[in-house]
Every structure is written in structure tokens, then in C-alpha cells.
Amino acid sequence: MEFLDIVLMFIKAFAVGGLICTIAQVVINFTDLTSGKILVIFMLAGIALTALGLYAPLVEFAGAGATVPICGFGYLLANGAMRGAQNGLFQALTGALSAASAGVTAAVIFSFLAALLFRSHTKYN
């Protein structure tokens, strides 16, 4: 890859990821939704956009800019379920879990290591 191709890839990822974060910040600022509800809305949006065939082109265009935000996790789950559904109903259920297993495992392991390395306490201590 040429240097300019790499720079363009970073710019596209930053622009799309930044746009997704900007939308989330606008929702936070102008609604009374809790952060948990916003997280679920964005994940379901990723699933819906994947089902409609709109999220895969965004991933092709922006790469990590589209897969790193939480709507990218919805894309990953939906994509795994759709691939699994080609082999039957049970695989549709397990396909989503199989697709996301590496990311979830990494999150659990690194969270555990962080808890061992740093002194955790509640926010109000």
C-alpha cells in the first residue's frame, strides 16, 4: 500500500467514526435518554442497517470507522446470524455468538487484567 492510500484510509475511518459519535452526542445533548438506551438504539440500528444491506458498504468504505462503534457490534451480530441462517435455525442463533466471541472474550480478559493491575473503587470514594 502506498502512503497516500493509508492516509486516505485513516481519513475515511475518522470521518465515518466521527459522524457516528457526533450523532450519538446530539442524541445525548437533546434527549433525556439514558446511556444504556442510547447504546441499545445504536446497536439495533447496526442490526437493522445490516438487514437492509446498508451497513456492509459502509464497512467496506470506512473499515474500523464503522466497525469499532457499538453499531458495528450490531453489524457483527447480524452478519454472523445471517451467515449461520444459511445452515439452519440453530446455526442462526449460534452464528451471532460465534462471530462476536473473539471480541467479547478479549473484553472480558482485558477487563479482568485491568481490575488486577489497578485499584478499582466506586466513583464516590
Q: In the prediction, which pLDDT does 120 show? A: 73
Reply yes or no on whether the pLDDT at 121 is more than 90.
no
In the chain, what are the domain boundaries? Answer: 3-117
pLDDT tens digit string along 29-78? 999 999 899 999 999 999 999 999 999 999 999 999 999 999 999 999 99
3-state secondary structure the chain: CCHHHHHHHHHHHHHHHHHHHHHHHHHHHHCCCCHHHHHHHHHHHHHHHHHCCCHHHHHHHHCHHHHCCHHHHHHHHHHHHHHHHCCCHHHHHHHHHHHHHHHHHHHHHHHHHHHHHCCCCCCCC
